Structure 1
Amino acid sequence: MNPTLPSASRTRRPLALAAFALPVLFAAVPAYALDGKWTPAQVLDIDARWLKRQGLKLPPSALWDDTRGTGLLTGAVSISGCTGAFVSDTGLIVTNHHCLFGVVQEHSTPARDLITHGFLARTQAEELPGSTTRVEIPKRFTDVTAQVLAAVPAGADPAARLRAIDAKQKALVSECQRQPDTKCKVAAFDDGVTYTLIESIELRDIRLVYAPPRAIGEYGGEIDNWSWPRHTGDFAIARAYVGADGRPADRAETNRPYAPEFFFPIAKDGLDEGDFVMVLGYPGVTWRALIAEEMRERRERFFVRREDLFGEWIAILERASADDAAGKIAVAANLKGIHNRYKNAQGQIAGLDRGRMVDKQGAQDEAVAAWAATNATHAGAVAARDGLRAVLAERERSWERDFLLNLVPMGTDSVAGGIPPLPKGLYFGATLAHNAIERAKPDAARASGFTDADQGKLRDRLRSEQRNYFAAADRRVFAALVRRALALPADQRIAAVDAHFAGKSPAQIDAAIDAMYAASPLLDIDTREALLGASTEALEARRDPLLAFGIAWNRDLRALRERERDWNARAALYRPVWRRAVAAHAGKPVAPDANGTLRISFAHVQGYAPRDGVTYTPFTTLAGVLEKHTGREPFDVPEAVRRAAQAPGAGAQRVNFLADGDTSGGNSGSPVIDGRGRLVGINFDRVWENVAGDFGFNPAVSRNISVDIRYLLWLLRDVERADGLLRELGASPD
């Protein structure tokens, strides 16, 4: 029931892209659409002749060298939960404005409002450090599927199987990290169809070089978010530094710019409709490997509840900070992220319904099951699907309770979907409690994120969240969470909430929370850091009411993690069996779901028709930026930009463009490169009709939105007069 899948690196099969050989599909999709977020190893499975016909001017081996385990793809780096791209041999990284927003926020004050006015370092000495910003550069990818699965004892039950797999992964990581300056992890694809050991280099000295004014970086705001036409300059530039010896180092005056092995030169010429492009990046989570019943849970429960909750949080944060300039700065990054996920939830619901995606997945599942039932190799897939259904049924019995508990992550984890941890007071307390319990274990037995090697990163995360803390807003979010927990049905209660707040009126809840915050030193960064090494007994002895609630919440959350571990163990047994049958039935390679690892999407520049009688062209221009200008947020073009835009021919400057790239969350900041490997754009969004693309690729509407790299160059040249930076980027200041 759990056969080992042959390694892609061992079993190369040139891919003729069977989907494009079927005449029926030619009638339904553009001749050059290709769905899939492909892993680096899979690039070499794609027919090189086909890629050349699409517009690739490089040999696929230039993108990925299977022998070295590296290639041009590694010019795309992971940065702050987003993607960035090296664009010079002096460590310059281009990414999205919203991906470096935290650094801008870190250095902003009411007196020096970089969020509003932007920032440009004209010399390296002026660059601003991001105290918690990190860049991970992929170094090598190794298929370890056979090694991981060989560690599972014969006849192991799901829990024992998962323990054996976890132990082997930790052993592989431990061995890998004996190399100097190397960070390692084992990534599972589709719950264990394959496992890959990923080696990377983490750079810790990252400095802000350029961020445009918010009126450019967020032009259109939430009105234009997830939509087209767009006119947003969502770009920013950072620089990575290393020690004088060329190795990763903490920030120091003696550090020097990092010289990457691979970087993307900026294209001198522009794009035309139909041009071939590639999107490289680190998409976070997609749900295409789910069976129909699991997709229905996402539609009917998950996104509905997120929309409801985030709408409430947005109102709280905006109301609490409305009359406080410092408060607005503190909540800005969190509010930006929640707004984005709020609209995403709405788009997911609309897209799932519009495309009848759950019903279509059900039909596909039935076809695979019927085929597998008659195929000896994949006959176990039918029972595997039943197993996935049973796990889902168990999850749904405590769904509402578990949803609330999972809103508060522990340590360096993120809540699914990338939302910020709120309320901060609860996050801080629960994280300290979890760290104390894990530190009592042998280092090798600790949960990911809480080992000795992780303590620095954990400390950085807590510091980062302190910058986003605004007491008035945090207390009100806390109260809202408590009220939701008190409304849970009798069989889904959260013990921590009942013990502290049961029977209290809304006014009494508010008063109790205000008292907890007022009495707690937990919100002081120095006190909290001193408690990172404290034992559970020492934390409890402080008799801090806010910390005590965090300890109790963590107890409930740890119990949930145990239940989730059982569910995950069973799903990890069933899902690979089912997904192998899906791939075999498809008769072609199937890209695994996104999991935060490096991927590439092949695409072409093209518009789309979102509904009857409407056709969108693939480019917007500076003239369109001015047409939207109202003088009020979010359409308030800075005066310097309006002045420069009056120059002859400036209105034709391209701003944003569409392509049919297969992208998702985490692709923010992804380099968009042409067939020669040159940077032509920076991905930052998807169109509204493609939000539900996380569940399936629809070539008619699957469009990603990128900012044209020449818009960045135009701003640097004609507005900022940043001659030195332009020369570093290989562009003429004239």
Structure 2
Amino acid sequence: MKNWILSILISVVTLSGIAKEGMWIPSLIKNLVESDMKEMGMKLTAEDIYSFNKSSLKDAVVHFGGGCTAEMISDQGLMLTNHHCGYSQIQSHSSVENDYLTNGFWAKNKSQELKNPGLTATFIVKIEDVTSQVLEGVEGNMEETDRQKKIEENIKAIGEAAIEGTGYKFIIRPFYFGNEYYMFLTETFSDVRLVGAPPSSIGKFGFDTDNWIWPRHTGDFSIFRIYADKDNKPAEVSDDNVPYKPKYSFPINVSGVKKGDFTMIYGFPGATDEYLTSYAVEYLINKQNPNRIKMRDISLEIIGDAMSSSDKIRIQYAAKQSRISNAWKKWKGQNKGLVRNDVISRKKELEARFNANANMSVLKYGITYTSLLEKMEDAYYRVEPYQFTWDMFVEVWYFGPEILRYAQGFDRLNPEKMKEEDLEKTKNALKNSAKGYFKNYDVETDKKLFVALLKQYFSVIDSKFKGDVYDNFELKYKGDYQAYADELFAKSNFTSLDKVNAFLDKYKGAKSFKAVQKDPAYQLATGLIDNYQTNIKPNLVSINNELELLQRTYMKGLMDILPKDRKYYPDANSTLRVSFGKVEGYDAADAVVYDHFTTVDGILSKMDNSTIEFAVPDKLVDLIRNKDFGSYADADGKMHVCFIASNHTTGGNSGSPALNGGGQLIGLNFDRTWESTMSDVMFDPEICRNIMVDIRYVLFIVDKFAGAKHLVDEMKLVKE
């Protein structure tokens, strides 16, 4: 379901002076911002950054697992990304006996590298504007559903024709809210192995306290390797595979950065909403974010207590806790920044300017923009109660008690959806997935989440959206969520591996599905889904369809009405982009001025071995105190850790290469400052900063701390 807060894809940058914001499509850089980039210090050409006909920087940029970015750093398939991007893989290989989260992991040779079934690494082969083909046969007076159906038919035909006989895959995405479409041909590798990761006391140093914060001292990196078949083509995980030979890998510059240096971020930013209307921003600030934060306050307190109670639960819930807390803290900073910078008023100023010029739109552009914003305001007002209920449902369903989604997954056994001859195959698949699921599951923790989050969910949504599941709960349990949880968890077949296996062993076919339907966890899960499908989704979809048309028109209107003072770039949508800026500090608040880099001195200043967040390994302490930095220290004699710059980034840019003007790797993007989290809605180059770990600190940890110089020897190090 499209979230209208996340759907509105309009962004602008002033034409006066150098462009200082934006996430640019690499294939369009030459015509749009190449001159700006060169004026700021770039020494490359647009073709060096993106080319289909020869190797270019794009061939070293990887979509890691579909959610992060990574980069190639050797001609033997070595790949660098963030520690938090590889966290799930590090956690999956960890146990109480082999606690790689706590102690780190370093393969001494390729035979020790750890396989990760399901993890992918995707390269972009080609980018192509396919707007005219996608919109062929699409009429202006079409209903949105008919329009979308025609577009989907065109996309399928265009994509299949493009990849025929190539072995590639395709992605076609809308840009400018459906005013343009671009196709990305991709090549995906599925044998990706863990090579090295520092202990969490380095890779997550500062944990939640320092997340989204500057100054920062986190060595947020992990190292993987891509494997391919003997012909260097993608292959399933196999011992027969060999290290992949990339078309391009980044040379690594060990000279360091200085204030004012050009920087470029190349990666796969997930989603931005730079030109939400003022109505949408009001909802975000006043209702959506505060309520999502409250839901996660509850989750994080429960999970935190559980993790501190045993090493087993700490390992089980490490990745889950990290996933929940990341957005939780971001939303807090986002609200702070949006309010402090009076973004609602700034949005209203733009809308007033739009309206002031809208009256002449029919004569000038053949389309009327008069009253467009009034219609949008009305649609936002009507969709809000449905949108809010959906937002809260997402928190319960995707980030709350896991038993609900897990139980609902047994709907695969529904005879209406499964052929009888597929029974054994489906049962075996459910048994296999159960092993991984229960490896990272604690029933008592899940029960506490169940009680607390269901209570919060039903307390904040409108009574008309609560549905039969709530009425039945009130009738039987009189508001006692604990009693409800105790009975449900006691009776459900989906609370332990033994119970699931026993249930599946007895499962004989269609008649046995009644046992699934009678399970209380399955009943609640399907009841919540049915309530959404019946009471929320129809109006949510209908009004969102209105908003899609209005927003697409508004996008075109901005381009028509305000063309002289705006250069429009598309919002992030998990496709390959380039952003650029320069190394610089910023004024965070009155009398609070931040420098552009940190050093290991700050690690010792923050060190507190009584808490997991700021514990520092003894070996690292010794290296720092002895100033044993090898060849990785800066010219000032200090070991730099992180630096900041004015690149426009968002989620998905985690792990992106930070490049200098010559296209050499100088750092690894991993975060933004707290003041910068508002940049998903409005980017301000005066205060918005992305945070990168200095590549020299990465090399220092790999070489001097981990003793894995054989990995550094694979890389091409350069000095200027």
Identify the TM-score tier after normalising by the shorter chain: 0.7 to 0.9
The Cα of 1:255 is off from its aligned counterpart by 0.6
1:257 corresponds to: 243
Summarize the Cα distance change of 1:709–1:146 in structure 2 as closer, same or farther, 3 Å threshold: same
Summarize the Cα distance change of 1:152–1:501 in structure 2 as closer, same or farther, 3 Å threshold: farther
Aligned with residue 546 of structure 1, among 509, 521, 527: 521
Q: Is 2:299–2:453's contact at 8 Å kept on the other side of the alignment?
A: no
Matches within 5 A, 1:302-451: 302-375=288-361, 376-377=364-365, 379-407=367-395, 421-433=399-411
Aligned with residue 676 of structure 1, among 642, 662, 680: 662
Unaligned regions of 5+ residues in structure 2, if any?
1-12, 420-427, 630-636
Aligned with residue 118 of structure 2, among 99, 120, 132: 132
Aligned with residue 608 of structure 1, among 572, 575, 586: 586
1:507 corresponds to: 482
| Match status 1:72 vs 2:57 | yes
The Cα of 1:427 is off from its aligned counterpart by 1.5
2:622 corresponds to: 643
CA distance in 2, matches of 1:531, 1:193: 54
The Cα of 1:117 is off from its aligned counterpart by 0.6
The Cα of 1:561 is off from its aligned counterpart by 4.2
Q: Is 1:91–1:240's contact at 8 Å kept on the other side of the alignment?
A: yes
Secondary structure (helix, strand or coil) at the match of 1:370 reads helix
Matches within 5 A, 1:549-698: 549-559=524-534, 560-584=536-560, 585-587=562-564, 588-633=566-611, 634-648=613-627, 650=629, 652-698=638-684
The Cα of 1:477 is off from its aligned counterpart by 1.6
Query: Which range moves more in the overlay, 689-698 or 125-134?
Result: 125-134
Query: Which range moves more in the overlay, 583-592 or 261-270?
Result: 583-592
2:8 corresponds to: none
CA distance in 1, matches of 2:31, 2:639: 38
Query: Which range moves more in the overlay, 460-469 or 666-675?
Result: 460-469
Q: Is 1:69–1:140's contact at 8 Å kept on the other side of the alignment?
A: no
Q: Is 2:72–2:80's contact at 8 Å kept on the other side of the alignment?
A: yes
2:423 corresponds to: none
The amino acid that maps onto 2:554 is: W
CA distance in 2, matches of 1:33, 1:470: 50
Query: Which range moves more in the overlay, 129-138 or 498-507?
Result: 498-507
The amino acid that maps onto 1:569 is: N
CA distance in 1, matches of 2:358, 2:416: 43
Q: Could you state the TM-score of these two structures normalised by the residue count of structure 2?
A: 0.87
2:208 corresponds to: 222
The Cα of 1:381 is off from its aligned counterpart by 3.1
CA distance in 2, matches of 1:692, 1:531: 53
Query: Which range moves more in the overlay, 366-375 or 615-624?
Result: 366-375
The amino acid that maps onto 1:78 is: H
The Cα of 1:399 is off from its aligned counterpart by 3.9
Summarize the Cα distance change of 1:235–1:524 in structure 2 as closer, same or farther, 3 Å threshold: farther
CA distance in 2, matches of 1:528, 1:422: 25
CA distance in 2, matches of 1:358, 1:529: 55
Could you tell me the percent identity over the aligned residues? 28
Secondary structure (helix, strand or coil) at the match of 1:334 reads helix
The Cα of 1:662 is off from its aligned counterpart by 0.4
CA distance in 2, matches of 1:430, 1:599: 37
1:20 corresponds to: 16
The Cα of 1:627 is off from its aligned counterpart by 2.1
| Match status 1:471 vs 2:443 | yes
Aligned with residue 95 of structure 1, among 72, 75, 81: 81
1:412 corresponds to: none
1:715 corresponds to: 701
Summarize the Cα distance change of 1:681–1:57 in structure 2 as closer, same or farther, 3 Å threshold: same
CA distance in 2, matches of 1:143, 1:572: 21
Q: Could you report, residue by residue, the CA deviation over 1:602-641 in whole angstroms, capped at 9, with x for unpaired residues?
A: 1100011111222211011112222222223322211111
Query: Which range moves more in the overlay, 237-246 or 150-159?
Result: 150-159
Aligned CA RMSD, in angstroms, stands at 3.2
The amino acid that maps onto 1:284 is: G
Q: Is 1:96–1:234's contact at 8 Å kept on the other side of the alignment?
A: yes
Q: Is 2:82–2:222's contact at 8 Å kept on the other side of the alignment?
A: yes
CA distance in 1, matches of 2:706, 2:263: 29
2:5 corresponds to: none
Q: Is 1:347–1:691's contact at 8 Å kept on the other side of the alignment?
A: yes
Matches within 5 A, 1:187-266: 187-266=173-252
The Cα of 1:714 is off from its aligned counterpart by 0.9
CA distance in 2, matches of 1:517, 1:503: 17
Summarize the Cα distance change of 1:478–1:723 in structure 2 as closer, same or farther, 3 Å threshold: same
CA distance in 2, matches of 1:461, 1:396: 37
The Cα of 1:464 is off from its aligned counterpart by 6.5
The Cα of 1:497 is off from its aligned counterpart by 4.0
Summarize the Cα distance change of 1:213–1:321 in structure 2 as closer, same or farther, 3 Å threshold: closer
2:3 corresponds to: none
Q: Could you state the TM-score of these two structures normalised by the residue count of structure 1?
A: 0.86
The amino acid that maps onto 1:550 is: A
Summarize the Cα distance change of 1:519–1:62 in structure 2 as closer, same or farther, 3 Å threshold: closer
CA distance in 2, matches of 1:122, 1:591: 45
Summarize the Cα distance change of 1:368–1:658 in structure 2 as closer, same or farther, 3 Å threshold: same
The Cα of 1:661 is off from its aligned counterpart by 0.6
Q: Is 2:666–2:694's contact at 8 Å kept on the other side of the alignment?
A: yes
Secondary structure (helix, strand or coil) at the match of 2:292 reads helix
CA distance in 2, matches of 1:257, 1:336: 31
CA distance in 2, matches of 1:365, 1:690: 24
The Cα of 1:299 is off from its aligned counterpart by 1.0
The Cα of 1:503 is off from its aligned counterpart by 4.7
Pick 1 or 2: higher relative contact order, CA cutoff 8 A, min separation 6: 2
Unaligned regions of 5+ residues in structure 1, if any?
1-16, 22-31, 410-419, 442-455
The Cα of 1:490 is off from its aligned counterpart by 2.3
Summarize the Cα distance change of 1:458–1:645 in structure 2 as closer, same or farther, 3 Å threshold: farther
Q: Is 1:433–1:554's contact at 8 Å kept on the other side of the alignment?
A: no
CA distance in 2, matches of 1:528, 1:100: 34
Aligned with residue 480 of structure 1, among 452, 461, 478: 452
| Match status 1:109 vs 2:84 | no
CA distance in 2, matches of 1:305, 1:647: 49
Q: Is 1:333–1:468's contact at 8 Å kept on the other side of the alignment?
A: no
Summarize the Cα distance change of 1:627–1:541 in structure 2 as closer, same or farther, 3 Å threshold: closer
Summarize the Cα distance change of 1:402–1:197 in structure 2 as closer, same or farther, 3 Å threshold: same
Secondary structure (helix, strand or coil) at the match of 1:359 reads helix
CA distance in 2, matches of 1:620, 1:676: 24
Secondary structure (helix, strand or coil) at the match of 2:230 reads coil
The Cα of 1:539 is off from its aligned counterpart by 7.1
The amino acid that maps onto 2:281 is: M
Q: Could you report, residue by residue, the CA deviation over 1:565-593 in whole angstroms, capped at 9, with x for unpaired residues?
A: 32332222221221122234143431211
The Cα of 1:462 is off from its aligned counterpart by 8.4
CA distance in 1, matches of 2:507, 2:287: 36
Query: Which range moves more in the overlay, 460-469 or 45-54?
Result: 460-469
CA distance in 2, matches of 1:472, 1:679: 46
